[in-house]
Protein backbone atom coordinates (compact mmCIF):
# COMPACT_ATOMS: atom_id res chain seq x y z
CA UNK A 1 0.00 0.00 0.00
CA UNK A 2 1.24 3.48 -0.83
CA UNK A 3 1.05 5.63 2.29
CA UNK A 4 0.46 9.31 1.66
CA UNK A 5 -0.21 11.97 4.27
CA UNK A 6 -2.45 14.08 2.06
CA UNK A 7 -1.85 16.68 -0.63
CA UNK A 8 1.51 18.46 -0.40
CA UNK A 9 0.54 21.11 -2.93
CA UNK A 10 -1.50 21.72 -6.02
CA UNK A 11 0.30 23.53 -8.84
CA UNK A 12 -1.76 25.95 -10.94
CA UNK A 13 -0.86 28.47 -13.63
CA UNK A 14 -1.45 32.22 -13.25
CA UNK A 15 -1.50 35.06 -15.77
CA UNK A 16 0.21 37.60 -13.48
CA UNK A 17 2.30 36.51 -10.48
CA UNK A 18 2.17 39.89 -8.74
CA UNK A 19 -1.64 40.03 -8.96
CA UNK A 20 -1.90 36.39 -7.84
CA UNK A 21 0.50 36.96 -4.93
CA UNK A 22 -1.56 39.96 -3.77
CA UNK A 23 -4.82 37.98 -3.89
CA UNK A 24 -3.49 34.96 -2.02
CA UNK A 25 -1.46 36.87 0.60
CA UNK A 26 -3.66 39.94 1.15
CA UNK A 27 -7.21 38.75 0.44
CA UNK A 28 -6.99 35.07 1.44
CA UNK A 29 -4.22 35.70 4.03
CA UNK A 30 -2.15 32.72 2.86
CA UNK A 31 1.53 33.36 3.59
CA UNK A 32 3.99 33.16 0.70
CA UNK A 33 6.71 30.80 1.91
CA UNK A 34 8.79 29.86 -1.14
CA UNK A 35 9.64 31.43 -4.49
CA UNK A 36 11.54 29.83 -7.36
CA UNK A 37 12.93 31.50 -10.48
CA UNK A 38 12.78 28.89 -13.25
CA UNK A 39 15.58 28.43 -15.80
CA UNK A 40 13.15 29.21 -18.67
CA UNK A 41 12.30 32.64 -17.18
CA UNK A 42 9.15 31.47 -15.42
CA UNK A 43 8.38 31.55 -11.72
CA UNK A 44 6.95 29.09 -9.17
CA UNK A 45 5.53 30.51 -5.90
CA UNK A 46 4.12 28.57 -2.93
CA UNK A 47 1.41 29.78 -0.50
CA UNK A 48 0.57 28.15 2.84
CA UNK A 49 -3.15 27.30 2.87
CA UNK A 50 -3.10 25.64 6.32
CA UNK A 51 -2.87 22.14 7.68
CA UNK A 52 0.58 21.56 6.15
CA UNK A 53 -0.84 22.05 2.64
CA UNK A 54 0.02 24.60 0.01
CA UNK A 55 -1.17 26.11 -3.24
CA UNK A 56 1.55 26.81 -5.79
CA UNK A 57 1.47 28.85 -8.98
CA UNK A 58 3.56 28.74 -12.10
CA UNK A 59 3.90 31.84 -14.25
CA UNK A 60 5.34 31.95 -17.77
CA UNK A 61 5.34 34.99 -20.01
CA UNK A 62 4.30 32.84 -22.98
CA UNK A 63 1.73 30.59 -21.23
CA UNK A 64 -1.34 29.74 -23.32
CA UNK A 65 -4.40 31.89 -22.50
CA UNK A 66 -7.13 30.78 -20.12
CA UNK A 67 -9.77 28.45 -21.57
CA UNK A 68 -13.00 28.92 -19.54
CA UNK A 69 -15.46 26.13 -20.21
CA UNK A 70 -12.62 23.78 -21.13
CA UNK A 71 -9.82 23.98 -18.57
CA UNK A 72 -11.73 26.04 -16.01
CA UNK A 73 -15.31 26.79 -15.00
CA UNK A 74 -17.09 29.44 -17.09
CA UNK A 75 -19.55 30.58 -14.41
CA UNK A 76 -20.61 28.64 -11.32
CA UNK A 77 -23.19 27.31 -10.66
CA UNK A 78 -24.76 27.83 -14.08
CA UNK A 79 -21.93 26.73 -16.39
CA UNK A 80 -19.62 24.55 -14.30
CA UNK A 81 -18.65 21.68 -16.62
CA UNK A 82 -14.98 21.39 -17.52
CA UNK A 83 -12.99 19.05 -19.77
CA UNK A 84 -11.63 15.65 -18.83
CA UNK A 85 -8.25 16.13 -17.15
CA UNK A 86 -8.97 19.74 -16.18
CA UNK A 87 -9.34 21.12 -12.68
CA UNK A 88 -12.92 22.10 -11.90
CA UNK A 89 -12.28 23.95 -8.63
CA UNK A 90 -10.13 24.00 -5.51
CA UNK A 91 -11.87 23.74 -2.12
CA UNK A 92 -10.20 25.00 1.04
CA UNK A 93 -11.33 23.27 4.24
CA UNK A 94 -12.37 25.44 7.16
CA UNK A 95 -14.39 25.24 10.35
CA UNK A 96 -18.06 26.14 9.93
CA UNK A 97 -17.81 29.01 12.42
CA UNK A 98 -15.08 30.58 10.23
CA UNK A 99 -17.21 30.56 7.07
CA UNK A 100 -19.17 33.77 7.73
CA UNK A 101 -16.01 35.71 8.66
CA UNK A 102 -14.32 34.47 5.48
CA UNK A 103 -17.31 35.56 3.39
CA UNK A 104 -17.21 39.01 4.98
CA UNK A 105 -13.46 39.30 4.29
CA UNK A 106 -14.00 38.38 0.62
CA UNK A 107 -16.88 40.87 0.28
CA UNK A 108 -14.79 43.62 1.89
CA UNK A 109 -12.07 42.92 -0.70
CA UNK A 110 -14.62 43.23 -3.54
CA UNK A 111 -14.48 39.55 -4.50
CA UNK A 112 -17.59 38.34 -6.34
CA UNK A 113 -19.17 35.37 -4.53
CA UNK A 114 -21.97 32.95 -5.26
CA UNK A 115 -25.23 34.62 -4.23
CA UNK A 116 -25.61 32.50 -1.09
CA UNK A 117 -23.94 29.86 1.01
CA UNK A 118 -24.55 26.45 -0.53
CA UNK A 119 -25.86 23.87 1.93
CA UNK A 120 -24.84 20.70 0.07
CA UNK A 121 -27.22 17.81 0.70
CA UNK A 122 -28.53 14.66 -0.98
CA UNK A 123 -31.63 16.33 -2.48
CA UNK A 124 -32.21 16.10 -6.26
CA UNK A 125 -30.72 19.61 -6.80
CA UNK A 126 -27.79 18.84 -4.50
CA UNK A 127 -28.21 21.75 -2.12
CA UNK A 128 -30.73 23.47 0.12
CA UNK A 129 -31.33 27.11 0.94
CA UNK A 130 -31.87 26.06 4.54
CA UNK A 131 -29.60 24.28 7.00
CA UNK A 132 -30.94 20.83 8.04
CA UNK A 133 -29.64 17.47 9.33
CA UNK A 134 -28.92 16.19 5.80
CA UNK A 135 -26.46 19.00 4.96
CA UNK A 136 -22.93 17.57 4.77
CA UNK A 137 -20.97 20.62 3.57
CA UNK A 138 -21.65 24.36 3.68
CA UNK A 139 -19.67 26.40 1.19
CA UNK A 140 -19.23 29.55 -0.84
CA UNK A 141 -17.64 29.80 -4.29
CA UNK A 142 -15.57 32.59 -5.85
CA UNK A 143 -12.79 33.01 -8.39
CA UNK A 144 -9.25 34.27 -8.09
CA UNK A 145 -7.78 36.84 -10.54
CA UNK A 146 -6.89 34.00 -12.94
CA UNK A 147 -10.48 32.80 -13.20
CA UNK A 148 -9.76 29.73 -11.05
CA UNK A 149 -12.87 28.74 -9.13
CA UNK A 150 -12.22 28.43 -5.40
CA UNK A 151 -14.44 27.22 -2.59
CA UNK A 152 -14.39 27.69 1.16
CA UNK A 153 -15.96 24.46 2.45
CA UNK A 154 -17.00 23.45 5.97
CA UNK A 155 -17.92 19.81 6.55
CA UNK A 156 -20.91 19.59 8.90
CA UNK A 157 -21.17 15.86 9.62
CA UNK A 158 -19.15 12.67 9.82
CA UNK A 159 -19.43 10.34 6.84
CA UNK A 160 -20.27 6.64 7.11
CA UNK A 161 -21.00 3.66 4.85
CA UNK A 162 -24.46 5.05 4.05
CA UNK A 163 -22.79 7.96 2.25
CA UNK A 164 -21.39 5.69 -0.48
CA UNK A 165 -24.63 4.82 -2.28
CA UNK A 166 -24.09 5.26 -6.04
CA UNK A 167 -22.64 3.01 -8.72
CA UNK A 168 -19.86 4.71 -10.70
CA UNK A 169 -20.85 5.86 -14.20
CA UNK A 170 -19.03 4.55 -17.27
CA UNK A 171 -18.82 5.49 -20.91
CA UNK A 172 -19.49 1.88 -21.88
CA UNK A 173 -23.02 0.99 -23.00
CA UNK A 174 -24.98 -0.39 -20.06
pLDDT tens per residue, range 110-159: 999 988 889 999 998 888 888 999 999 999 999 999 999 999 999 999 99
Cα angle 165, 170, 174 (rounded to 5 degrees) comes to 95
Q: What is the pLDDT of residue 5?
A: 83
For residue 1, the model assigns a pLDDT of 85
Q: Following DSSP, what letter does each residue of 64-101 receive, concatenated?
A: PPP-BTTTB-SBTTTB----TTS---EEEE--HHHHHH
- CATH, range 66-159: 3.30.720.110
CATH architecture observed for domain 1-63: Roll (3.10)
pLDDT value at residue 174: 52
- Average pLDDT in the 4-19 region? 93
Confidence of residue 173 (pLDDT cuts 50, 70, 90): low
DSSP element (H, E) containing 108: helix 96-108
The predicted pLDDT at position 153 comes to: 95
3-state class (DSSP) for residue 19: helix
User: In the structure, what pLDDT confidence band is assigned to residue 171 with cuts at 50, 70 and 90?
Assistant: confident
Q: What percent of the chain has pLDDT over 70?
A: 98
Strands, DSSP E only, in the chain? 9-13, 32-37, 43-50, 53-59, 90-93, 118-120, 127-128, 137-143, 149-155
Q: Where are the domains of the chain?
A: 1-63, 66-159
Give residue 64's pLDDT.
94
Question: What is the CA angle 14-18-19, rounded to 5?
Answer: 70
Amino acid sequence: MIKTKGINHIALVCRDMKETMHFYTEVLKMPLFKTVQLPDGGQHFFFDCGGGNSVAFFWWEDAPPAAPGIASVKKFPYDAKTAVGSMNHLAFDMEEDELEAAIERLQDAGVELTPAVFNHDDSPQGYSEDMHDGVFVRSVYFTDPNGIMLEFAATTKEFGPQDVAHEPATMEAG
